Amino acid sequence: MATMQDVANRANVSLATVSFTINNSKPVSARTRAKVELAMKELGYRRNAVGSALARGRTHVLALLYPALQHRFSATSVLFFTSAADQARLRGYNLVLWPMSNEADAISELTSSGLVDGVVLMEVQLDDPRVEELSGGTTPFSLIGRTRDTTGIPYVDVNFEHAVENAIDRLIKLGHTNLALIDGGTGDQLLGGYGPVARTRTTFGEITAQRGLTGIIMSGGASSEGGRTLAAEFLAEHPETTGILLMNEPAGPGFVAGLQKAGKRLPDDLSVIAIGSSIDTATMAEPELSVLVSPADTLGRLGVDALIDRLDEPNKALPQRLIKCTFSKGSTLGPAPAH
């Protein structure tokens, strides 16, 4: 590999001048620029990222931090990976995957290695020790999701509050008054629970109360098997319910199958609307699930954007954004059955 010095030699200029023309960091005469560019072309020169990083104090590498143990990713969470990587590249950064257990101390290994300029955190808990750790340090970070207290913290998250209200209102409009929220559980209570589930439950409680509806909450495993089991339990325990909000992507198709196996017709007997799933999973159910689709790709992009904005323009307004889900019609919403 040719170095900058090689280019300088061939172009008969100094190393510094090569740097200036490559980075446009100082004015360079047209003649000199031409010489340098020719030499670069002839040598097939490319700037070495490591040398540059050491001199600048910036690696242009970002880390995407996600739970190491969680080894079954929903179709939705994949989109975080790929859209984040895309956006990073688009803005001249690289994204490294950083699987991590929940111990906060492992974060200092990352931030003090000097390898990354910043961190994007996924799967945020309401009281997340990793966020506390990052807040205490100097490495910029952003969240996909958000903690209970978001003061001073850049984040992008799904607007679950809006999604729940929207879903409930769709069911109300169809005449449903006995509702259920079915999710995958809040996870680790010590950490305040998993944000999306906690927020969804709260909003579900508030809106059903406010609209004068009956609302129950059930949880089950995040898998098709979990969904099938859950369907049976649900029908046994809550025969009066006719409208279901389902926030458990992996369980979706299994849940729908389980309801029908027990003799229910969708949407004649029961209406189901999924929240925050992918369109791919929704279409795998039979009949296809009506769903408020998670804006996962947008979130991945904006999560990276928020971080890079902090890095490149620290004085810009703090990026904190909630993104709405989009509705996909499907075939599991219908009028409430007459008594």
Q: Tell me the window of 8-16, 72-80, 147-155, 204-212 that interacts with DNA (CB under 7 A).
A: 8-16
Q: Which stretch binds DNA (CB under 7 A): 25-33, 63-71, 95-103, 293-301?
A: 25-33
Instruction: Rule CB under 7 A: say whether 59 interacts with DNA.
Output: no
**Positions in 44-103 near a copy of itself (CB under 8 A):** 44, 46-51, 53-54, 59, 61, 64, 68, 71-73, 75, 77-79, 81-82, 85-86, 89, 94-99
Instruction: Closer to DNA by CB, 5 or 135: give it.
Output: 5
325 with 275: CB under 8 angstroms? yes
Whether the Cβ atoms of residue 282 and residue 328 lie closer than 8 Å to each other = yes
**Closest C-alpha to 254, from 287, 219, 227, 288:** 227
263 contributes a contact to DNA by CB under 7 A: no
Whole-number Å distance between alpha carbons of 185 and 253: 18
Residues 22-51 that bind a copy of itself (CB under 8 A): 44, 46-51
213 binds DNA (CB under 7 A): no
Nearer to DNA by Cβ, of 27 and 212: the residue is 27
32 binds DNA (CB under 7 A): yes
Whether residue 255 contacts residue 228, with contact meaning beta carbons closer than 8 Å, is answered with yes
Torsion angle of C-alpha atoms 104, 109, 114, 118, degrees rounded to 10: -20
CA dihedral over 201, 202, 204, 208, signed as positive or negative = positive
Q: From the CA atom positions of the chain, what is the Rg in Å?
A: 26
Q: CA 157, 166, 256: angle at the middle one, nearest 5?
A: 90
Cβ proximity to DNA: between 27 and 314 the closer is 27
DSSP state letter for 4: H
What are the residues binding a copy of itself (CB under 8 A)?
1, 44, 46-51, 53-54, 59, 61, 64, 68, 71-73, 75, 77-79, 81-82, 85-86, 89, 94-99, 108-109, 112-115, 223-225, 250, 252-254, 257, 260-261, 280-281, 283-286, 288, 297
